[in-house]
Amino acid sequence: MIPLFRVAMSPEAPAMAAQVIGSGMIGQGAKVQEFERAIAGRIGRDEVVTVNSATAGLHLALHMVAREDADDGGEVLSTPLTMEATNWAIMANRLRVKWVDVDPATLNVDLDDLARKISPKTRAIMIVHFGGYPLDLDRLREILDQAEARFGVRPPVIEDCAHAWGATYRGAPIGSHGNLCVFSFQAIKHLTCGDGGALVLPSEELRRRAERLRWFGIDRTADRLRNPPDVTEWGFKFHMNDINASIGLANLAWAEEVVARHRANAAFYDRELAGVPGVELTERAADRQSSFWIYPMKVEDREGFMKRMDEAGIMVSNVHERNDLHTVMRPYASLLPGLDHVAPRVVCVPVGWWVTEEQRAHIADTVRRGW
């Protein structure tokens, strides 16, 4: 069976992790700082704070920019087509979810629908670069300009970049466009720390605040013996440790090759599957480059397609279920015609670094033969 996911682990990672373990200094320390500097160098922004998961990063981001309004009916605009963690962070901050429909061409949020749904109650906007394909961030900026002119308030944007390590928009890395951005370094991502994440902030002030809040609100740079720091704002235990950071450092250079292989396999599918009956590929815009964490496409008779792929030894999945159908989300039910149209058709085939030329040819040939 050709797997849909595999862990991308550098051969150097075990030794680097063992060195940290043997040092007796395994908590948040020098390796975390080194990893943060390395991430900042890749993204092109200095305001990077690592956390123990992307879920923690999303929670912390919302806590910082929207939490103070949680009791006044504040809403967060978000997509229902994502891993549940995206929207559970909204619930954890006691904010209301307001669903934005999905653009069937990209599987990202429908920006026309988002523009219609921004209101004075909007405390933040959560967007996902689905599969690693960047949202049109310039169009989003225009929508925010219009909302600010209309309501006098500009809702902060949180980019869920869990799929998008290595993706670019207008030639610049995702994470560098001035919003709050959260990356995932979970086990099966392009860049893994075993688990972990990073929060990229739009200002140095927010970076310093996030640095405190990930460790109970305590300033860990203060001299706690001579001048014990006062806690002015309570925080969380969301920090990364040196073991995870050492794994991330070992994998960082290799992650570029990992992303390149994903892209090469995706380009092959783009050529080989274009025009195949029963298959519709997602958008490819010239101003952005996907990281292709997954290769989503839309198929007719998804159940039959998945059965045929299984028979051919190919693991496929839709990967993420629509969040709005969960019982816990019933209070936020909304008409979402774009999602209704596309959700039953989305399926992903193996595209990762482990897929050989022979295997990807077998996958494409199986799809072309029909189901």
Q: What is the pLDDT of residues 293-350, one digit of tens each?
A: 999 999 999 999 999 999 999 999 999 999 999 999 999 999 999 999 999 999 999 9
- Backbone angle region of 44, left / alpha / beta, with phi > 0 → left and psi within -120 to 50 → alpha: left
Domains, the chain, ordered by start: 13-252 (3.40.640.10), 253-369 (3.90.1150.10)
Helix (H, G, I), strand (E, B) or coil at 281: strand
pLDDT tens, position by position, 71-109: 567 899 999 999 999 999 999 999 999 999 999 999 999
pLDDT of 69 over the 60 cut: no
**How long, in residues, is the chain?**
371
pLDDT tens, position by position, 266-279: 999 999 999 999 99
Q: Please return the burial class of 76, using the count of CB atoms within 10 Å of its CB with bins 0-12, 13-18 and 19+.
A: buried
To which H or E segment does residue 289 belong? strand 288-289
Position 81 scores a pLDDT of: 98
| CA 320 to each of CA 109, 116, 131, 296, 347: distance values in angstroms, whole numbers, following the listed order | 15, 26, 10, 11, 10
d(CA 281, CA 36): 36
Reported in sequence order, the residue ranges of 107-208 that DSSP labels E, i.e. its strands, are 122-128, 157-160, 168-169, 172-173, 180-184, 197-200
| Tokens read off for 228 | 């014990």
pTM (global) more than 0.95? yes
Position 68 scores a pLDDT of: 55
pLDDT tens, position by position, 186-244: 999 999 999 999 999 999 999 999 999 999 999 988 777 777 889 999 999 999 999 99
Give the dihedral sign, CA 57/63/64/69.
positive
Mean pLDDT, all residues of the chain: 96
| Tokens read off for 172 | 């610049």
